[in-house]
Every structure is written in structure tokens, then in C-alpha cells.
Amino acid sequence: MALVSMGPMLKRAQAARYGIAAFNMIDYNSARAIIEGAAEKKAPMIVQVSVKTIKHWGFKPIATWVRMLAEGVDVPVALHLDHCSDVDVIAKCIEAGWTSVMFDGSSLPFAENKANSEAVYRMTEDAGVGLEAEIGAIGGVEDDKFVAEDAAILANYDECVEFVKGMPNLAVFAPAIGTAHGFYKGQPKIAYDLLEKITATIPIPIALHGGTGLSQEQFDRCIAGGCAKVNISTMHKHRYIDGFLQVRADKPKLEEPLPFIVGQYEAMKRDVLDMIDAFGSAGKAAHAAGTEA
């Protein structure tokens, strides 16, 4: 299928209470594991890209790989830009064929974050692509941004209401609800009550950041509470490295590189399949695409 915009898929997913996985791709092999994993499970998928990954490979190669892979499968795939505070990068992604982008102004004072998010919103509306915007401060490391545990701040409910007012067609909203990027050191304190209050009054699907390391029960409660986009990055990166190293450990004398790439692909895909099951999106491709009979 041609790449799709994630907004309509996420609305349907939120209404039916399942989560669409959003994996941070690393390279062609990783994009292939993500998209072919989705196809195997007949699940909708969001392939998201961190700014440093784009800086490494370039806009065009990534857009070309993901578009080509998406066109080879029968499930809806969106190409999304993860956390980005640089409007120039956002514009270049839109130009290169991304179907949605995230503007992350969460480190700015509220009024400035709102004004800047609205400016990017107008840009994305004109271009016909989806927007994700964030408030509060999600802890941990993502891309080159680090938010210390004690600096992580839950989104303020009244600010959430105010924030989205000027962006009625926001594809997905990312309020900080207590999850964090990277592996959890202790148990995350997820503010389910805040999530439910936001979902009850704001008709926009919610993004769950910091998916790596959450338990099935935590995924279930967040998805039941309105999270429709579930982000996984750290675990995917670990599978990428470990899958490769496992081949070296199993066959120390191997000199042919392709089996390493296959081992890596399989390790990443296994995790993609597991997460799709965990989020309840297996078999939901047609539902998410709006083409269900």
C-alpha cells in the first residue's frame, strides 16, 4: 500500500481500544523487520525516525526505503518523524514524503510551546500530513535529548485542554503521563487517572512514549485509557545489536556478512511480532485503514 497518514488510523485504534506500534527504525534492515513483521501479523504500523538517524542516512534514502517496503505489503504503514524541535528538519521531512511529524516543544515554556506547535500545525495542515505534539516532560534519553528523572514533569490537565484548542485536527497528542524513554530503573508511576481525564475530554488519540520495559498490564491499562500509538525504540536498538552479536557468538568463524544481517533481522522481527500481540493490533490492518468489509 502507499504510505498512509497516521491520524485516521489512530482515531480508529483509539475508538476500538488497541494500540498501533510505532518503532524507531535504524536502517533498511530494521525498517524491513518492522514492516514485514506488521505484514505477517496483518497489523497497522508506524515507522518513526529519530533526527539523528535522518542526519546519518539522509532524508531521501529513508523515505525511499520505507515507501518501497510499504508498497510491497498489504497493511497500512505511516512514516513518522519522532521528537523534533527543528522546524527546518520538519519541513524537509514533509518535502521528502513523511506522512506525519512530531514537533517537540516540551522544553519550552507553555505559551511558547503552544504558539510554536500551532505554527507547525498550520504547516502540516497545509501539507496534508499529521502532527504529534507534546507537553510536560517525558524522562530519559531520546535522540540527543536527556531529561533527568527528577526533571520529568507530568502534563498539567488544564494546560492540556488549552494546548490542543488551536489544533483540532492534531493526529496524536503526547502528554507526559509518567513513562520514560530507555529501560526503567524502578517501576514507572503511570498517572492513569490523568490519562483517563485527558481522554474523556480531549477527542485526540494519545501517544504512549517510553514503551520499552512496560509490562503487559501497563500496556493494557494505557491502551484502555486511550493510548493509540505505542512507541518502542530502546528495545529495538538492543535487538539490532544483540541479533548481530548472537550470530558471532554462535558461529565465531563465519566470514560471510549476510547471515549476520539475517540474524539481526530475525531478532528485530520477533520483537515486532510480540509487541503487535501485546498491543492488540494483530489482524487490525483493514480496520485501521478504514477498509474493513
Interface positions with ligand 13P (CB under 6 A): 24, 82-83, 142, 181-182, 209-212, 231-235
Could you give the 3-state DSSP secondary structure of residue 228? strand
Q: In what order do the strands lie in the sheet with 145-147?
A: 145-147, 139-142, 180-181
Q: Are 136 and 176 in contact (CB under 8 A)?
A: yes
User: Amino acid identity, residue 26?
Assistant: I
Least distance to ligand 13P, CB of residue 70, Å: 20
Least distance to ligand 13P, CB of residue 142, Å: 5
Cα(283)–Cα(199) distance, rounded to whole angstroms? 25
Cα(262)–Cα(11) distance, rounded to whole angstroms? 35
Grid coordinates belonging to 217: 498490564
Least distance to ligand 13P, CB of residue 234, Å: 3
218 or 287: CB nearest ligand 13P: 218
Least distance to ligand 13P, CB of residue 272, Å: 13
Q: Are 80 and 93 in contact (CB under 8 A)?
A: no
211 or 263: CB nearest ligand 13P: 211
Least distance to ligand 13P, CB of residue 152, Å: 13
Q: Are 80 and 99 in contact (CB under 8 A)?
A: yes
Residues with catalytic function? 82
Grid coordinates belonging to 208: 504512549
Listed in order, strand segments (DSSP E) in 60-157 are 77-81, 100-103, 130-135, 139-142, 145-147
Cα(19)–Cα(208) distance, rounded to whole angstroms? 9
Rg of the chain taking only CA atoms, in angstroms: 18
Cα(67)–Cα(198) distance, rounded to whole angstroms? 34
Could you give the 3-state DSSP secondary structure of residue 275? helix
